[in-house]
Chains A and B, each alone.
Chain A
């Protein structure tokens, strides 16, 4: 894989697909690495997109600043990568920590984007997310990367995904454990110590935005995505059925299809965000259905929305 240079640091990236084609840039979550987007690369290339993936500073094959990783540097790294894409349409997607970086990019450089897809996202640290984040950091410190993975796997993936892998979880975890270092993950987590909520800036995101949230995501639950939906003018929220926080791993075919359809709709002028709430199909290619009118999409039981 080639490298970009940011100061003295190198950022490993991969770029595939025809020059000039509309591009998707995909940003990793905290413990991830670029290869985990492999299924997306294949699916999006087949639909004539370019696909760019990379390891954030502190991850995988990119350099790992020893003491501090500033989120601004991650945004700059992303900007460098998008600069490699030329002038064609650029759609930006990110998962979890990567969604946060994507949101920051859209706030700073939204003019360069044709569309934005924050997945399992947050713009602020709710008390629950703050405390879970602190506990995960403590877990990393006391138990290493493997223990952090042990915590994240059952939190973020379904029983259906985990059950056939129960006797080979070590091999599932191994590549992430190999390419990620305790100090670098800790630096990534500690980049939130001076984190200021993005919520007041979300309204400046003018590009079409499709917000994806797993039905059962309790790490970044619906309310955190609602902040994005309410504040980003040309947005809609799409709930992925039976999905947890890491649905990009578990439901890659469905999610890649949603990404492609979103970009195709935007480029064809069909996209209408309207801050609507949708339910994604169970499988790739199915129809999205509007969230039932009159019901509160922030609840887990069918409660009618309070009259306003």
Chain B
């Protein structure tokens, strides 16, 4: 087990099996977010905040597209099995303690997006020796960088005044989502020889 991708191949690239597993997880997570942002996005924007919804949808789609093209895919039977668990985890689960169901669903989507954008750091798995010009390396660095920016919309919503009366419920939902996503991420990585710290975001 290592904290980083590797051993790298002779051209300092991440092994295809590790690329495949990590990208499969990320495509699943960001793809689910893209789908749900798409469903939430009205054909005609009526509120200013919906411009951010539009941005989130296209950034998530871009991440999926990028990973699909930058990854050196190889067959990964375990990923197929794990994907069932991943996709199940992305199902909407209205946040407990918020009586307005529409708001509870919005909180759920925001907490999941927060957990994915804040808690999943694939670029932190890159060892220093990796070829920085490799497409997969560029892709995960870009994904992590963009995640930090996408995260801001979730932070603004979850810390915002509209949810202030439900602060405990929001915090609980968010911590639970972080734990869930983190667990899936850790398990996905363990199967390819990568062990990351299990501290709790």
Contacts and interface: CB of A to CB of B under 8 A. Distances in A.
Interface stretch (A56-64, A152-160, A298-306): A56-64
Interface in B89-117: 114-115, 117
B170 interface: yes
Among A67, A141, A178, A190, the one with the most B-chain Cβ atoms within 10 Å of its Cβ is: A67
Contact of B175 (A66, A142, A182, A186): A66
B155 interface: yes
Interface stretch (B5-13, B34-42, B145-153): B145-153
B171 interface: yes
B199 A142 contact: no
B156 to A, nearest CB: 10
A144 interface: yes
Interface residues on A, range: 20 to 34
A64 B200 contact: yes
Given A66-B171, A66-B178, A61 B201 contact: no
A186 B158 CA distance: 14
B72 interface: no
Contacts of B117: 183
Interface residues on B, range: 20 to 34
B146 to A, nearest CB: 10
Contact of A63 (B170, B171, B174, B199): B199
Contact of A183 (B155, B167, B171, B200): B155
A10 B151 contact: no
A141 B114 CA distance: 14
B171 A68 contact: yes
Interface string A96-126: 0000000000000000000000000000000
B197 interface: yes
Interface in B117-153: 117-119, 121, 124, 128, 144-145, 148-149, 151-152
25 contacts: A12-B199, A61-B197, A63-B199, A63-B201, A65-B175, A66-B114, A66-B118, A66-B171, A66-B175, A66-B201, A67-B159, A68-B167, A141-B148, A142-B149, A144-B144, A144-B145, A144-B148, A174-B128, A177-B124, A181-B121, A181-B201, A182-B118, A183-B117, A183-B118, A183-B155
Given A12-B199, A68-B159, 17 more contacts: A8-B200, A61-B199, A63-B201, A64-B199, A65-B175, A66-B174, A66-B201, A67-B170, A141-B148, A142-B149, A144-B144, A181-B121, A183-B117, A183-B151, A183-B155, A186-B155, A190-B159
